[in-house]
A and B are shown apart, each in its own frame.
Chain A
């Protein structure tokens, strides 16, 4: 009886120890993982080039040296319609200091967008249509509206999911546009 107990005693520690080691290793790995948000350096903005709504051509790469506000919007999105006048006004206000506002028009049609731009007093806005949404996905867009601020070196320095506010725009733009 004693012998059996001692033999079982010799067998059991093997899986038990292995399990303990596994748990400890997994706990160590888990503990060493970085937090969910590790911002790091500002990422380079993805390419954005193509025909514009008014038949022109747009290329983000050609705008190095300027600050570019890329707003992803659609005419079927209520909050996008609401923020368009503010974005257009911001573009007008800061254009002399090197700001360019560009609309990336997600899964929409020109017939719906043109009247919207006219109603929003944003007719002069550069709009790059994105009928199949591939460009927006390239930018990592999660929903509309969503706004990216690209600095003079072509890096995304601020990102705003949802509607932008005047305060957010002032806060980020004044610092970027102060330095030519």
Chain B
């Protein structure tokens, strides 16, 4: 009786451990930002093999925005996923529901476990009906079953514990609309579409008003031939950080168009603040050239 109780308890423990392992491995993103987890679970429809969380494409950025909006409205992750499936089809899910061949991945291990369990139960239960001689042989098999069961529990427990440590690389990409806007702006700069890049930087700046983004905007405006805009933006940076080398550089370059008389002084301040700046040599040439032109 006690033995049966022990076997029953062991079986319950095994099933519970398996269930915990399954739940924890199936929902690795449970503890991180739910929006990022949803984005990581959706395929970017404009890309190959990239999730919505990873992709730099504008449509993926838009999808992240929609996820953020819907999460803010209190929709559950399942509802949000259904919303995307209704528009993009089931292929938008990184892990489509278990159907067809995918079902085998779930069914085969489950059936194998069930089969092994039944086989184990039969072997263990067969003992009282057997005679003494074969009983000894069968008893020798019992440790093997217990070892197997113990091994399974250990395996499931290891997976349950290790799942958390293995999961973070999958879920770390954060759905950050600002980062996407910045990447998009850099791409646009690469394509020499400085107006559109400046627009993207402005968008990023609304979300993240920091000087690094302001400086990028100022450079983009300068390249887009909007010297007045570049000067204004550079001055915003210099208000916070009067010795910002990039701020002085953009201001000086913009002033060459807006206030040519003030430009050399600003650029000299830039050289004094950052004599080893990558642009310093070019600025020195520019200033020398200007000086020669005036004297010559």
Seen from chain A, the residues whose Cβ lies within 8 Å of a Cβ on chain B are 3-4, 7, 10-12, 14-16, 18-19, 21-23, 25-26, 29-30, 33, 36, 74-76, 106-109, 111-112, 130-134, 136-144
Q: Chain B at the A interface: mostly helix, strand, loop or mixed?
A: helix
Residues of B within 8 A of A143 (CB): 45-46, 57, 59
Selected contact of A15 from candidates B61, B107, B115, B191, CB within 8 Å = B115
Q: Is the CB of B59 within 8 A of A25?
A: no
- Whole-angstrom CA separation of A162 from B258 in the bound complex: 42
Q: Is the CB of B61 within 8 A of A133?
A: yes
Selected contact of A109 from candidates B61, B69, B199, CB within 8 Å = B199
With an 8 A cutoff between CB atoms, is B111 at the interface?
A: yes
Contacts A26-B104, A29-B103 given; does A142 touch B59 at CB 8 Å: yes
- Whole-angstrom CA separation of A130 from B66 in the bound complex: 12
Q: Is the CB of A19 within 8 A of B101?
A: no
Query: Which of B26-34, B118-126, B151-159, B238-246 interfaces with chain A?
Result: B118-126
- Whole-angstrom CA separation of A7 from B112 in the bound complex: 19
Q: Is the CB of A74 within 8 A of B63?
A: no
- Whole-angstrom CA separation of A116 from B139 in the bound complex: 85
Q: Is the CB of B114 within 8 A of A4?
A: no
What are 20 A-B pairs with beta-carbon distances under 8 A? A11-B119, A15-B111, A15-B112, A15-B118, A16-B115, A29-B99, A30-B101, A33-B100, A109-B203, A111-B195, A112-B193, A133-B58, A133-B66, A134-B62, A134-B66, A134-B69, A136-B59, A137-B66, A140-B87, A142-B46
- Whole-angstrom CA separation of A125 from B103 in the bound complex: 50
CB distance from B82 to the nearest CB of A (A): 14
Q: Is the CB of B59 within 8 A of A141?
A: yes
Contacts A11-B122, A18-B115, A29-B100 given; does A112 touch B196 at CB 8 Å: yes
Q: Is the CB of A19 within 8 A of B199?
A: no
> Which chain A residue has the least Cβ–Cβ distance from B84?
A137
Q: Is the CB of A112 within 8 A of B195?
A: yes
- Whole-angstrom CA separation of A75 from B59 in the bound complex: 15
With an 8 A cutoff between CB atoms, is B147 at the interface?
A: no
Q: Is the CB of B119 within 8 A of A22?
A: no
Contacts A3-B134, A137-B87, A143-B57 given; does A15 touch B108 at CB 8 Å: no
CB distance from A31 to the nearest CB of B (A): 8
Q: Is the CB of A76 within 8 A of B188?
A: yes
Residues of A within 8 A of B69 (CB): 134
Residues of A within 8 A of B46 (CB): 142-143
Q: Is the CB of B100 within 8 A of A4?
A: no
Q: Is the CB of B199 within 8 A of A112?
A: yes
Q: Is the CB of A132 within 8 A of B62?
A: yes
